[in-house]
Amino acid sequence: MLNSKLENLISFLKTKKILIGTHDLVDLDGYASCIVLKYVLNHHFNIHEVSLFFTEFSKGTSQFLEKITKLFPGFDFSCSSHADLSSFDLLLLLDMNNLNLVKINGKEAVPFIYIDHHVESESEYENNLSSYNITLNNYSSTAEIIFDICEICNIILPTALKWLLISAILTDSGYFKYGNNHTVITASKLLDNEIDIQQVFLLMKSEEDISKKVAKIKGLQRVRLLREGNYLIGVSNVSNFEASVANALLSIGFDVSIILAKKKAEYRITMRATKQICMKTGLHLGKILGELSILSGGNAGGHDGAASLNGQENQEEVLEAIIGKVKEIINA
Ligand SMILES: [Mn+2]
């Protein structure tokens, strides 16, 4: 399927002026996928009017970039954070499937295409050229899709780009915890003599922020334990680092974690579930939050074991509905 989609997409892109971008708080998967796709379009398909655009980087991405730039001093990892959309024909949006997640002025006016691995979003936009979208939710990262594109086209990537892809795959798959066979096989193809996995681990190790540690501890102090048979659900709240808190709850023994974080004008609910509970019960957090996003007046997205929702309204109702839905599924 990727083969035929790719052929159509490439012939459509041939004559276009393209801007490649990803969601805000750029993570490694979004960053690596954009950089490598630009390389592929430039070097393999001779499409040269391609620019990159990134908004704010996540802390992890910034730390990683600092280190990888030192490792490959000759390689240009830089990118622009300003883009005048009026000079482009098309936006290629990677690692996202909801236009709201990208912060570019005037984005509504430009035709766009997604390349992504998340569950397809409910929202439809007039300017999405949906027949060209490549959305494969059986992939654990967009980087794997981009690598498959390289393989289909027999492209040999420079070592620095392989570093980016392997790092992106490791982050998004939670070091294979959320991955599948394809994830491991792709990683093994990327690891050649020039890349040592221990060196990659070292580069990806980030210094843990003291405020993140405090958030995790507070999240644990406030946790509400709900027991459903042999399953444990943890509900808590923090102001920041909700994803880390959600992960921390799983690591101490909860099967499902639900973390509420109140932001300025909105609230965010972040959830995690173990692979085991998802496989045994059919629990799919991305679907649950997707269904409740209308009630929240916001948007949601994610996978079976990891998902989040940004809402403006009905915070308590949404939270209770999530808990109810999780109980219903795991008791069915
Ligand atoms: Mn991703």
Question: Who has greater pLDDT, 121 or 28?
Answer: 28
- Quote the ligand 1 centre to 30 CA distance (angstroms): 6
* Span from the CA of 195 to the centroid of ligand 1 (angstroms): 22
* Topology agreement, domain 2-204 and domain 210-331: no
Q: Would the pLDDT of 121 be above 80?
A: no
Between the CA of 4 and the centroid of ligand 1 the distance, in Å, is 23
Q: In angstroms, what CA-CA distances link 222 with 71, 234, 235, 236, 325?
A: 42, 10, 8, 6, 22
CATH topology of domain 2-204: inorganic pyrophosphatase (n-terminal core) (3.90.1640)
Query: Across the chain, what does the average pLDDT equal?
Result: 94
φ and ψ at residue 233, rounded to 5 degrees: -110, 135
217 or 105: whose pLDDT is higher?
217
Which residue in 137, 162, 119, 142 sits closest to 21, CA to CA? 142
Would you say residue 100 has pLDDT above 90? no
Please tell me the predicted confidence (pLDDT) of residue 106.
86
Dist. CA 232 → ligand 1 center (Å): 27
Q: Which fold has domain 210-331?
A: Diaminopimelate Epimerase; Chain A, domain 1 (3.10.310)
Instruction: For residue 104, name the pLDDT band (cuts at 50, 70, 90).
Output: confident
pLDDT, mean of residues 268-279: 97
168 CA distance to ligand 1 centroid (A)? 8
pTM of this structure = 0.76
Give the per-residue pLDDT at 171. Answer: 95
Pair of tokens at residue 180: 């599948």
Cα–ligand 1 centroid distance for 136 (angstroms): 11
**Is 122 a residue whose pLDDT tops 80?**
no
Name the DSSP letter for residue 128.
Answer: B
Interatomic CA distance for residues 61 and 56, integer angstroms: 10
Report CA 235 to chain centroid distance, whole Å: 23
Q: How far apart are CA 115 and CA 96, in angstroms?
A: 7
pLDDT at site 158: 95
The DSSP call for residue 139 is S
The whole-number pLDDT of residue 330 equals 96
- Over range 234-261, report the average pLDDT: 97
Distance 137 CA to ligand 1 centre (A): 10
What's the pLDDT at 219?
98
Cα 166 to averaged position of ligand 1 atoms, centre (Å): 13
Q: How much distance in Å is there from the Cα of 143 to the middle of ligand 1?
A: 7
Q: What is the pLDDT of residue 103?
A: 87
Asked whether residue 81 carries a pLDDT value surpassing 80, the answer given is no
pLDDT digits (tens, 9 = 90+) for 21-45: 999 999 999 999 999 999 999 999 9
Ligand 1 centroid to Cα of residue 318, in Å, is 25
For residue 178, name the pLDDT band (cuts at 50, 70, 90).
Answer: confident
Query: What are the residue ranges spanned by the domains of the chain?
Result: 2-204, 210-331
User: Is it the case that residue 80 has pLDDT exceeding 80?
Assistant: no
Distance 331 CA to ligand 1 centre (A): 30
Tens-place pLDDT, residues 45-58: 999 999 999 999 99
